[in-house]
Amino acid sequence: MKWKKFKIKTVTDAEDIIISTLYDIGLEGAQIEDKVPLTAMEKEQMFVDILPDGPEDDGIAYLSFFVEEAEDGTLTVNGEEKTEEEILSQVKEELESLRMFCEIGEGSIAVDETEDIDWINNWKKYFKQFYVDDILIIPSWEEVKEEDKDKMIIHIDPGTAFGTGMHETTQLCIRQLKKYVTPETELLDVGTGSGILSIIALKMGAKHAVGTDLDPCAVPAVEENKEVNGIIPESFDMMIGNIIDDKEVQDKVGYGCYDIVVANILADVLVPLTPVIVNQMKPGAVYITSGIIDDKEPTVVDAVKAAGLEILEVTYQGEWVSVTARKQA
């Protein structure tokens, strides 16, 4: 299958209205390229990985729309066959109409042809099985080799939204969980994403896990990964919402009932999270944090100490840091 790509040069302020307008004529799934910095909320919703500072926003945006192309060169939009010229004419007409009442910038349209692309699954070729010490983490679509069948095996399918466990911050958390999980462990996993940390803890023998996340996509991701790893459904519960400032989420998660809290998220989120999450921890509970770039270590350590927790250990992998602490017994 081939696709025609219609790429519009515009300005960032016009992104939403152009996408909405062209959606009405059957062009869906816009790919957006711009230099707009991530908002604080967008950073919170990312699963751990921290992007470097990007180039300064120049106000320019490129919107690409992909239309399926048949072997005979015809294009299909909303189930109707159209020529490239017909689509171009319609897009130009819509852009000129928008230009009458809002700034859309250059508004030029470039047309290109691209080969068959599976945007949803193409990333999978980069995710291969790997070890974290003696734990084998393997994509759900790969077969376990005979020589690996006696290992602890974690099948994971992060979907398109969450981490795989390959990132250093996740591996730092896994190694800390290995030190502290017991058969009596009640675990709270803040920013659970694909559920990998909770699933590993449960496979290590933890009694029960609760995961929280801001992204509703975490629910199906966790359910799929629970099933493929043979996790008893009632041993791992998921909740969507911001535990930092949502009293309803805090109440549902519960107070004073967790032996371990693991939070593999951004340092800037750990600072406001820490004084809140101590209320969910039992006396003597362990707090494992990561997602901390090395120059943010003092900030997180100070926040942990200010919340009345005792620093047990600070561990490192590459430029990433994990801070582990304990609540007073």
DSSP string for residues in 193-230: TT-HHHHHHHHTT-SEEEEEES-TTHHHHHHHHHHHTT
Q: What pLDDT, on a 0 to 100 scale, did the predictor assign at position 104?
A: 93
Is residue 94 located within the same domain as residue 158? no
Residue 185's pLDDT is 97
Domain stop point among 96, 114, 132: 114
Query: What gap in Å lies between CA 11 and CA 146, rounded to an integer?
Result: 55
H or E element, residue 250: helix 247-253
Confirm or deny that 170 is annotated as ligand binding. Answer: yes
Number of H helices, E strands in the chain: 9, 16
Specify whether 200 is located in the same domain as 315: yes
Question: For residue 283, is it within any domain?
Answer: yes
The residue out of 53, 86, 114 marking a domain boundary is: 114
Pair (75, 192) in one structural domain:
no
What pLDDT was estimated at residue 197? 94
Q: With beta carbons less than 8 A apart as the criterion, state whether 305 and 280 touch.
A: no
Same domain, 17 and 98: yes
- The CATH number of the domain where 64 resides is what? 3.30.70
259 in a domain, yes or no?
A: yes
CATH number of the domain within which 223 lies:
3.40.50.150
Report the pLDDT value the prediction gives residue 160, as an integer from 0 to 100: 47
135 in any annotated domain? no
Q: Is residue 194 located within the same domain as residue 268?
A: yes
Q: Please indicate, yes or no, whether residues 164 and 282 belong to a single structural domain of this protein.
A: yes
Look at residue 4 in the predicted model and tell me its pLDDT.
Answer: 85
Do 238 and 315 sit in the same domain of this protein? yes
Of 95, 114, 133, which residue sits at a domain end?
114
Whether this model's pTM surpasses 0.85:
no
Same domain, 302 and 164: yes
For residues 105 and 171, membership in a common domain is answered with: no
Does 73 appear as a known binding residue? no
Q: Would you state the pLDDT for residue 47?
A: 40
CA angle 226, 230, 231 (to 5 degrees): 55
Same domain assignment for residues 172 and 103: no
Beta strands in 140-274, from DSSP E residues, in sequence order: 152-156, 186-190, 208-213, 236-240, 258-264
Query: Structural domain tally of the chain?
Result: 2
pLDDT tens-digit readout, 157-189? 765 445 555 678 889 999 999 999 999 999 999
Q: Which residues of the chain have pLDDT under 70?
A: 1, 37-55, 115-127, 158-166
Residue holding tokens 């299909």?
A: 76
Range of the structural domain that residue 221 is part of: 154-326
Tell the residue number behind the tokens 């371990």, with chain if given.
260
Q: Is 289 annotated as a binding residue?
A: no
83 annotated as a binding-site residue: no
